[in-house]
Amino acid sequence: MKSIFATVIGSAQRTFEGVTYNRVTALPVDGSPVISFKSDDKPAEGALAYVDCFAVGDLGYDNLPCERAFSALQMYTSATAITSAREAAKALQGLTL
């Protein structure tokens, strides 16, 4: 499994067996091929998604080997939030409580 950031390029609402969800398509910032994943929320285009990507054979959340590749959403964020967090972390470096 590897965790990556990906920029949302679009989404479509789908319903399967009475459950409605958003199928999100995103472009990883590391240059990997386009990925897609399910989301309860409809993200804005351009939002950053933090996603866990599993390959066949990787251990899944249940500690069993994955039978197929898939991506799972961890959260949505923005470039502004990441920049602010980096600046706050840098300001706190070396401080002890």
With beta carbons less than 8 A apart as the criterion, state whether 25 and 9 touch. Answer: yes
Residue 58, pLDDT > 90, answer: yes
For all residues of the chain together, what is the average pLDDT?
92
Q: Which one is the CATH code of 2-92: 3.30.300, 1.10.600, 2.40.50, 1.10.3470?
A: 2.40.50
Of the candidates 37, 41, 40, the residue with the CA atom closest to the CA atom of residue 24: 37
Strands (E), 1-97: 2-16, 19-28, 35-39, 48-54, 70-77
Q: Are 51 and 34 in contact (CB under 8 A)?
A: no
pTM, 2 dp: 0.81
What pLDDT digit, counting tens, does each position of 12-56 carry? Answer: 999 999 999 999 999 999 888 999 999 999 999 999 999 999 999
pLDDT reported for residue 32: 86
pLDDT: which is higher, 94 or 74 = 74
In the chain, % of residues over pLDDT 70: 100
